[in-house]
Each structure stands twice: as C-alpha cells, then as structure tokens.
A and B are shown apart, each in its own frame.
Chain A
Amino acid sequence: MRNNATALMDVQHLEKRYGASAPAIFSDISFSINQGEFVCMIGHSGCGKSTILNILAGLERPTTGHVSMNRHHVTRPGLERGVVFQGHALMPWLTVAQNVALAVRARSPGMNKADVHQQVLHYLNMVNLHDAQHKRPSELSGGMRQRVGIARAFSTTPDMLLMDEPFGALDALTRGVIQDELLRICAKTGQAVFMITHDVDEAILLADRLILMSNGPQAHIAEIVENPLPRDRVRTSIHHLSGFYDLRNHLVDFLVRRSAGTRQTSN
C-alpha cells in the first residue's frame, strides 16, 4: 500500500449492497491515487466498476467504507472531482460552447461574459473542437460529443478527473485519436485521473497503475499492477516497447481466466 498521507484520493474498504440481506456487489475495495497519477480500473461488466466511480464522484454512497479527497471526507459531488460520463451527458438544448460555459460559470460564478467565452474557447481548442462551438450535441458525431464532455470536465479545473468508460461507444479510429489527445493533455496539465475501461490496450497506454477487479457479485480487487512502460509512451510505438507484451498477456490472461477464479479462492 502506498503512503496514504500524501495521496490525493484515498479509498478505504468500500462495500456496496442493495438491501441488508443481498450479497455485496463488491467489498473491501481499498486503493489510493496520487497527484498527477493516471489509474485505470479494469474488469468485466457487473463487477460494480461504475458504482465505485459514482461513489468516488459522490453521486452514490457506499454501504460501508469511505472515500477521502485531500483528506476531506467525500459525501457528495464536488467541483474538485470532474466527471466524464459514459454517455457524454451533454445538455442537448445547449450548444457546445454553452455546455462548456455552464461548467466554467459553475467554477467561477460572477466571471464576466468575455472571460467565460475565452475560457470556453481555450478548452474547446484543447480537444480540437473550436469549429463546432455553435453546434448542438445532436449535430456532432459520438467522438466529438465525448470530446465536449472531456472539455467540460477539464474546464472546471478539477483536482481529479473521473472517467466512466468514456470511449466505450466509439469506433477504434476515433478512440485512438481521443486517447492521444487525453494523454497529451494529462502530460501537460499533470491531471490526476481515475478511469474505468474494459479495453486492455487503452489501459496500458493511459494508465500508470492498473486496478484489476474480479468478477461480480462480491467483486474485489484481485491485483494492482504498476505499468512498467515509460511515461512518454505513445499509441503508435507502444507495442515495440520491451515489456509491452508481457503486461498485455498478463492482463488478458487475467480477464480470460483468473478474474472468475479469484472469486472462488477468496470465498
């Protein structure tokens, strides 16, 4: 276990069950995330990954256990934790710029119009969507919508970004482009990120640390893996790095075989 005193976010013994007699969805989930760290959680559907993310976001409450952020107890959502939702969750009645402006104003109430607009353009530029600012979400492709969602989350300058399978619904090509963008932005800003995915390659590319979840119900953390690849890895050349295939095989083996097995041994 890492040194929890310096951790940005500390998660201790989370457990969630719906009803007192129902089996736990997951139990004894403990980990921490440091400043500037990119952590991915991998696991099959049904292991409660999204619920864990919602608990970190403060949108749901754990049955037992607690989450603290900057040594403050997390009990409700807050601007210091930005969320990128699985289904982008843009307001369809607002334009792209207005969607981001909503978040900018939420972070800085009373900011004047020109400054808000300038901030909006800054974050839209960051995800290369400057030209789409006057469009509505329904006029955008899935990838563009998710990029607006990312720009919106960044625009509140959160200490920690929580991403729930943000690229799950995108085609491989778009996914790659946005992964590169995200990697570039995170490298520049030193943003701490907690991301849920079930894509092994995505996790290896983005994550500094990988949390492997066993299958639900009664899911738990099977293993936490440090990514041994250098931090300046890029999508186009990552598979040439030594150690890439070892890590990939390890993860795929886990998902195919051990994720189900670990539950039996733990029971």
Chain B
Amino acid sequence: MGGRQEKLKAYLLSFVLAGGVLLAWQVLTLPTTLPVEVIHADNSEYARLMGTASAAPVSHGFPSPSQFGHDAWQQLRAPFHNSGPNDRGIGWQLGASLLRVFIGYGLAVAVAVPLGLLMGQMPLLARGLNPFIQVLRPISPLAWMPIALYTIQNAEGCGIFVIFICALWPVLLNTSFGVARVRREWLDVASTLELGWVQRMWRVILPAAAPTIVTGMRVGLGIAWLAIVAAEMLVGSSGIGYFVWNQWNNLSISNVILAVLLIGITGMILDTAFSALQRSVGYAE
C-alpha cells in the first residue's frame, strides 16, 4: 500500500513539475512592446525594415506553449505527408531514422555477438583484439563520417555505418566479458553431461551470459540513437536529425522543439523495450 502511495506522489510531483515548466515557458514568451519603444519615429525606415512598424505588441521568435501546441498539431495531423524531399512529415522522418538504426544496429549485433562469444571462450583472441578495440572504441561516431563518406560514397550507407560502428563496441565487449565470466561450475556440469558444442552454447553459455549481453545491447542502442541524429544533420536528405536541421534553417522553432521531444520519447521507448528484455533474461543466483 505504501509503495502505491509513493508512486502516486511521484506522479503528482511529475505533473506539478510539468505544469511549472509550461508556466515558466508561457511567462518567458509573453508578447512585449519593448522593441517599438526602442525604435523611434525618426527611424521609421528601419522600423519598417524590421517589420515592427505597425505591429504594436511584438512576439519573440520563440513560440509560446500555445503556439507550439498549434504548430505541433499541424505537424502531427499529417505525420506521413510527403511533398518532396524538403517537406516530408515528421513521422516519415522518424521512420527513416529508425530504419537506419535498426539496420546498422542489427548488423552490429550480428557481428558483435558471435565475435564476442568467440572472444569470451578464447582468451588469446580476446587479448589479441583488445588493443584494436581500445583504440577504436573511444572514436566519436561522427569522426568516422569523412572516411565513411569517402569510401562508401552513399549517404544512406554512411548513416548505417556510423550506427554500426558506435553500437558495435559495447555489444562486443559485454558479450566477451559475459561469456568469459560464465561460472566454471556450469561449464563443468555441461562437460559431465557430455553436452555437444551447440547444446553447451545454447543451454548454458548463452543463458548464463544473456544478462550481460543484453546490457551491452541496451547501451549500444542508446548510443546508436544519440549518433543517428548527429549523423543525419551532416549527411541530410532524410531522417529526424535532418528534419531538426532543416526546420532550424526554416526558423521553425516549434518544429525543432517537437522533433527534439520526439527524439527523446522514441529513445525512451527503445530503452524501455530493452529493460523489459533485460528483466526476462535476468536470473537470481
């Protein structure tokens, strides 16, 4: 019962905080008349130039919450509209980013998990690869961009490569670590039961290392989602990162805010899915 009340209080607090932020936002973006007083009559030419000649109360460039709500609704009403490369709906852009992430991330997992399994079981291989991994791992995914652009020469491929290269390391290292740390006893049980290679892998090593592997996959997906936005800002043509940059160039701050919110919410949903997966493969010793 106490736990439930705590939960309710936490929800209430979140609600109050959201209200507070909205209120502050509204107050800070209230229309002011200040600019008109600054530009005097003798400067009417300049005032006209600035577009403030007739309008008495002038709004900031930054939208108020209600403005944002209106603009966001316009955008979300037709999320998949497509009127050429410069005017596609936000859902379309988000989908393009997700597709890229799933391909690049899927490739990373497909390479990192088997390689990590080998490394975990062959300390020699792990030690031999370690210097390369340690050098490659801290490289920002964006630093790969020029090399990727030059060699792949395809914007789509570059985006996928960047996702691949940044999601690879956490999955690889965690898989290798998880497999290397599978308890000796369990492997001994597998040996005394004369389990074959496949059974040993499938029934003992993978389930034993699964929590560590999934943790690595969760971290990798988080990084991939961070990297895709930046990569799309650079290579452009589609995706939520491109959308943010394009709307910034249009000075449509409402759309930028909407996109930023959607990036956050999508990241949260992806992470929640992985936290559920983590729970399902977890075990108590």
Interface residues of A (CB under 8 A from B): 57-59, 76-79, 81-83, 85, 87, 89, 91-94, 102-103, 106-107, 136, 138, 156
Contact = CB atoms under 8 A, between A and B. Distances in A.
A103 B193 contact: yes
B37 interface: no
A102 B151 CA distance: 50
A77 B194 contact: yes
A85 B194 contact: no
A93 B189 CA distance: 14
Given A91-B204, A93-B207, A79 B284 contact: no
Contact of A83 (B192, B207, B210, B281): B192
Contacts of B186: 89, 91
B210 to A, nearest CB: 8
Contacts of A81: 192
- Tell me if B's interface is mostly helix, strand, loop or mixed: helix
Interface in B229-252: none
Given A136-B283, A138-B284, A138-B285, A93 B208 contact: yes
A82 B188 CA distance: 11
Contacts of B183: 89
20 contacts: A59-B191, A76-B191, A77-B188, A79-B192, A87-B185, A91-B189, A93-B208, A93-B210, A93-B281, A94-B207, A102-B203, A106-B194, A106-B199, A107-B193, A136-B283, A136-B284, A138-B283, A138-B284, A138-B285, A156-B193
A76 B188 CA distance: 11
Given A89-B185, A91-B186, A78 B194 contact: yes
Contacts, number: 60
Contacts of A107: 193
Interface residues of B, number: 20
Contacts of A138: 283-285
Contact of B188 (A59, A78, A92): A59
Contact of A82 (B192, B199, B210): B192
Nearest to B281: A93
Interface string B172-187: 0000000000010110
B192 A92 contact: no
B207 A91 contact: yes
Given A77-B194, A102-B193, A89 B207 contact: no
A48 B284 CA distance: 31
B254 to A, nearest CB: 49
Given A77-B192, A79-B193, A92 B284 contact: yes
Nearest to A149: B189
Nearest to A153: B192
Nearest to B284: A138
Contacts of A82: 192
A249 to B, nearest CB: 36
Contacts of B195: 106
B25 to A, nearest CB: 48
Interface in B149-171: none
Interface in B78-96: none
Contacts of A91: 186, 189, 203-204, 207-208
A76 B283 CA distance: 30
A93 B186 CA distance: 11
A87 B193 CA distance: 17
B285 A92 contact: yes
Contacts of B199: 106
A78 B193 CA distance: 7
Contacts of A93: 207-208, 210, 281, 283
Nearest to A78: B194
Contacts of A79: 192-194
Nearest to A88: B185
Given A78-B194, A83-B188, A89-B185, 4 more contacts: A82-B192, A89-B189, A92-B283, A156-B193
Contacts of B185: 85, 87, 89
Contact of A85 (B189, B203, B283): B189
A81 B192 CA distance: 7
A77 B191 CA distance: 6
B208 to A, nearest CB: 7
A198 B199 CA distance: 36
A202 B185 CA distance: 24
Interface string B263-285: 00000000000000000010111
Contact of B192 (A57, A87, A94, A136): A57
The 6 closest A-B pairs by CB, nearest first: A89-B185, A138-B284, A106-B193, A93-B283, A77-B191, A77-B192
Which among B185, B193, B284, B285 has the highest number of chain A CB atoms within 10 Å?
A: B193
A129 B192 CA distance: 23
